Amino acid sequence: MDQNVESYPVHGVCPHDCYDTCGLELTVSGNRVVKIQGDHNHPVTRGFACLKVNRYLQRLSHEDRILFPLRRQGPKGSGLFIRSSWDEAMADIGFRLGQIVRKFGGEAILPYSYSGNMGVLSEASMDRRFFHRIGASRLARTICSASADAALKWVYGSRIGPDPEMIPQTRRIVLWGSNPVATNLHEIPLLDQAVAGGAKVIVIDPVKTETAARYGTYIAVNPGSDAMLAMGIGRYWLRESLFDADFVADYGSGLEQYRQAVEPWTLSRTEQATGLTQSVIENLAHELIRVPPLLIRTGYGVQRHRYGAQAIWAISALSILSGSYRHSGGGHLLGNGDAFPINWKVLTRPDLLQGTPREINMLQLGRALSPDLNPPVKALIVYNANPAATAPDQSAVLEGLSREDLLTVVHEQMMTDTARYADWVLPAAMFPEILDLHLSYWHRYIQLNHKAVEAQGEAVSNTEFFRRLAKAVGYGGEGWAKDSDETLVRQALQTSSPWLEGISWESLQRNPVQKVNISPQFRPFIDFNIPLHALRLEPLPIADSQKVKENPVNFHSEGVGFRLLTPSRKNTIKSSFGNITSLLAHEAEPTVYMHVQDMSSLHLKDGDEVLLSNTQGSARFIVQASERVSAGLLLSYAVRWNRDKDGVNVNQLTSQELSDYGGGSTFYDAWVRVEACRREEPS
Ligand SMILES: Nc1nc2c(c(=O)[nH]1)N[C@H]1C(S)=C(S)[C@@H](COP(=O)(O)OP(=O)(O)OC[C@H]3O[C@@H](n4cnc5c(=O)[nH]c(N)nc54)[C@H](O)[C@@H]3O)O[C@H]1N2
Ligand SMILES: Nc1nc2c(c(=O)[nH]1)N[C@H]1C(S)=C(S)[C@@H](COP(=O)(O)OP(=O)(O)OC[C@H]3O[C@@H](n4cnc5c(=O)[nH]c(N)nc54)[C@H](O)[C@@H]3O)O[C@H]1N2
Ligand code: SF4
Ligand SMILES: [Mo]
């Protein structure tokens, strides 16, 4: 650091898709960020960031970083580009979008985005206004949590759970398909505090995760059988009169329909479906209600399955039947996104929409890019996402992205697998270079991310990118396209909700980390004055054909013996950080983990190369024996960059099939065949 240049702190917020939404302390010197660490004043961040963000300076100045507009030179996917200018890019894109709208209508334009940057402005503001105004196809943003969101809405009416800062006050904690050591690091100190106070933590997961190893009590459930397990427990409680009948009478509805739905799930049937013995199931049923408060902490892994929404419904029912909401800190925690009633309407302006353009489920991007669609998608605008690596049924996605007649525009920070297929790649700013407002889907702090430095090269924020696009297609003079980032933050906070009272642009300047006005002691729903009988036990409104079956026919399982799970990796966030090699030091090549018994029956040893395949596609991996998985199960952490091996990754093996309800994913319903790859013997 130059001794003569003064350095000073700036408050930032980690924008990545992570439960923790950490407050960060940036040290700035000159126009450079020289240090990033966890905010010591943020009660949940507690002064530490994860390893990924401790290495962030490597990401800020990475060689893959895109600094200037790039125009395609070579064939799609080749990654060959030539430097251009914003003027040239906007003139060409504006002209071509205009042509497409005239010839095929607005629906021929498809946005594709998710949570690459979770800031309110970056995720959903100017972009939505732009697509509403141009009449683009609407994207159903389902890739992560759609089944859970729909099920939570059905059962509780909203996505709100207990305040995680109350975890230390609970006594029974079930981590149900949740691996916080990897995905929710700042939950660990809270869980440890609870354990120190006498709480017991039970982990239900087909994978013996780092979290399972840490807390001891581990239940290895069959993948995709959580709905059956939860129904089996519910039935047991009803028969043994172990449930909280008074609570259900006051707050629940649909007990009779629930009783009918769970009736088939006897202990012996539940045993068959879940792979757990009857005594394990019975014990679990008693453990859950023995010592309140009970917290069920469900992760999203549970719902990336064919019966994903029913799993969330059935687990939610246990939180109601047990009366867990009677106790502060108790209840079901999956998301707290609805604890922030900001003004989404004014940010996203649905009123700019004329008519109702078709909706396309992002999980079916492969199908959406088929030239046979009517009208076909002629322009794809990607930001905050990397679908070439992260979307299911990758062969179909890559085939679509290869279409010569498709205009693909990618606004990115890095030369990702998706950017390589673009006609135009436009440089995106990183969080220290922009202003944004942040919520969390787990804790209850709202935060301001200050702009700390000028953007590198010609990178711009998402909001600025869409302002420029608006201008390029002739909307530049319209009021919605002129709002500055500060105006957008102020608009977001224009709400009469008491939960956000006192939180304003001005107050955030003084204190960039503020908790919403919901007392942590408040018990969800009961202290929110919900009407009586508002918590729904009745099953989801789905067709019989979608309902949980005893012996489900699994997708694409014919003749292929292994089940493949691809949950989150500790040192990356989906594909983000996948190019920071120091973070992947433990996994030099894409790897699949296998039970030692399967290794020996297939005559495999550590480090061998295997081909995994099914009707969707195939990909090669290094195989490693692991005690984390049981026989028949394979584990590969999501997701490596395609460029790391053969231009493809594990999403060759996942499908576009949707879950039972809410249009969610079935990423973890993958079945594969395993073959050893033949090695060229050195001569
Ligand atoms: N370090 C890190 N943090 C992340 C991410 C990341 O990639 N890396 N991703 C972010 C994103 S996008 C999200 S959505 C969240 C996701 O984080 P989580 O909500 O934790 O979800 P997953 O990682 O999908 O899966 C969690 C656990 O569910 C288990 N699981 C899989 N199938 C089943 C099943 O059928 N039953 C049960 N009981 N368990 C099952 C998996 O083995 C895994 O241990 O994390 C965010 N945070
Ligand atoms: N096999 C398998 N596949 C999965 C999953 C799984 O568990 N298994 N999980 C699924 C889930 S839960 C999710 S949420 C998705 C996530 O998949 P994606 O939505 O594709 O998320 P990332 O891979 O994190 O890619 C985000 C991209 O946004 C870019 N970015 C970051 N900030 C900004 C910004 O401010 N502006 C712009 N324009 N770009 C930015 C990053 O550089 C990065 O390339 O993956 C899904 N795919
Ligand atoms: S990735 Fe998650 S744990 Fe790491 S700094 Fe960001 S919010 Fe915190
Ligand atoms: Mo996600």
HEC secondary structure over 72-98: ECCCCCCCCEEECCHHHHHHHHHHHHH
Residues 46 and 127 in one domain: no
- Tell the residue nearest (CA) to atom 42 of ligand 1: 207
d(CA 315, CA 321): 10
**Digit-coded pLDDT (tens) for 221-277:** 999 999 999 999 999 999 999 999 999 999 999 999 999 999 999 999 999 999 999
Contact of 383 with 411, CB cutoff 8 Å:
yes
Ligand sitting nearest the alpha carbon of 386? 2
How far, in Å, is the centroid of ligand 3 from the Cα of 383?
20
Quickly list H helices, 448-560.
462-472, 485-492, 505-510
Residues 290 and 314 in one domain: yes
Q: Quick one: pLDDT at residue 683?
A: 54
Establish whether residue 187 lines the binding site of ligand 2, counting it when its CB lies within 6 angstroms of any ligand atom: no
Is 444 a domain residue? no
Residues 598 and 557 in one domain: yes
CATH of the domain at 563: 2.40.40.20
φ, ψ of residue 672 to 5 degrees: the values are: -140, 160
Ligand sitting nearest the alpha carbon of 182? 1
Report the nearest atom of ligand 3 relative to the CA of 14. 6
How far, in Å, is the centroid of ligand 3 from the Cα of 18?
6
Number of domains in the chain: 4
Establish whether residue 50 lines the binding site of ligand 3, counting it when its CB lies within 6 angstroms of any ligand atom: yes
Read off the tokens for 226: 């959580």
Establish whether residue 133 lines the binding site of ligand 2, counting it when its CB lies within 6 angstroms of any ligand atom: no
**Digit-coded pLDDT (tens) for 43-77:** 999 999 999 999 999 999 999 999 999 999 999 99
Residues 533 and 660 in one domain: no
Residues 120 and 196 in one domain: no
Question: Which of the residues in the chain have pLDDT under 50?
Answer: 553-558
Contact of 42 with 515, CB cutoff 8 Å:
no
Report the nearest atom of ligand 3 relative to the CA of 50. 4
Residues 188 and 326 in one domain: yes
CATH of the domain at 270: 3.40.228.10
d(CA 653, CA 487): 44
Is 586 a domain residue? yes
- Tell the residue nearest (CA) to atom 42 of ligand 2: 413
Establish whether residue 53 lines the binding site of ligand 3, counting it when its CB lies within 6 angstroms of any ligand atom: yes
Report the nearest atom of ligand 3 relative to the CA of 21. 7
Question: 598 to each of 2, 265, 624, 634, 654, how far by Cα in Å?
Answer: 57, 31, 11, 10, 22
Report the nearest atom of ligand 2 relative to the CA of 386. 20
Establish whether residue 21 lines the binding site of ligand 3, counting it when its CB lies within 6 angstroms of any ligand atom: yes
How far, in Å, is the centroid of ligand 1 from the Cα of 230?
19
Residue to probe by mutation, ligand 3, list 11, 20, 48, 118, most atoms within 8 Å of CB: 20
Is 56 a domain residue? yes
- Tell the residue nearest (CA) to atom 24 of ligand 1: 301
**Digit-coded pLDDT (tens) for 276-298:** 999 999 999 999 999 999 999 99
> Using CB atoms within 10 A of its CB, is residue 287 exposed (0-12), middle (13-18) or buried (19+)?
middle
**Digit-coded pLDDT (tens) for 514-549:** 999 999 999 998 998 788 889 999 999 999 999 998
CATH of the domain at 368: 3.40.50.740
CATH of the domain at 30: 3.30.200.210
Is 346 a domain residue? yes
User: How many CA atoms lie within 13 Å of 494's alpha carbon, on the beta-carbon side?
Assistant: 10
Residues 531 and 565 in one domain: no
Q: Quick one: pLDDT at residue 557?
A: 47
Residue to probe by mutation, ligand 3, list 16, 40, 56, most atoms within 8 Å of CB: 16
Residues 320 and 350 in one domain: no
Which stretches of 177-235 are assigned E, i.e. beta strand? Answer: 200-204, 217-219
Is 258 a domain residue? yes
d(CA 205, CA 211): 10
Contact of 409 with 98, CB cutoff 8 Å:
no
Read off the tokens for 371: 């030239």
Q: Quick one: pLDDT at residue 39?
A: 98
* Mean of all residue pLDDT scores within the chain: 96
For residue 56, what are the domain limits?
7-60
Residues 185 and 309 in one domain: yes
Establish whether residue 18 lines the binding site of ligand 3, counting it when its CB lies within 6 angstroms of any ligand atom: yes
How far, in Å, is the centroid of ligand 3 from the Cα of 183?
9
d(CA 465, CA 381): 11
Establish whether residue 570 lines the binding site of ligand 1, counting it when its CB lies within 6 angstroms of any ligand atom: yes
Is 443 a domain residue? no
Residue to probe by mutation, ligand 1, list 22, 176, 183, most atoms within 8 Å of CB: 183
- Tell the residue nearest (CA) to atom 24 of ligand 2: 576
Q: Quick one: pLDDT at residue 552?
A: 55
Instruction: Output the DSSP codes for 293-311.
Output: PEEEEE-GGGGSSTTHHHH
Residues 307 and 180 in one domain: yes
The amino acid at residue 368 is A
Residues 577 and 654 in one domain: yes
Is 397 a domain residue? yes
**Digit-coded pLDDT (tens) for 596-641:** 999 999 999 999 999 999 999 999 999 999 999 999 999 999 999 9
Ligand sitting nearest the alpha carbon of 141? 2
Establish whether residue 629 lines the binding site of ligand 1, counting it when its CB lies within 6 angstroms of any ligand atom: no
DSSP 186: G
Residues 251 and 358 in one domain: no
Is 490 a domain residue? no
Report the nearest atom of ligand 2 relative to the CA of 670. 1
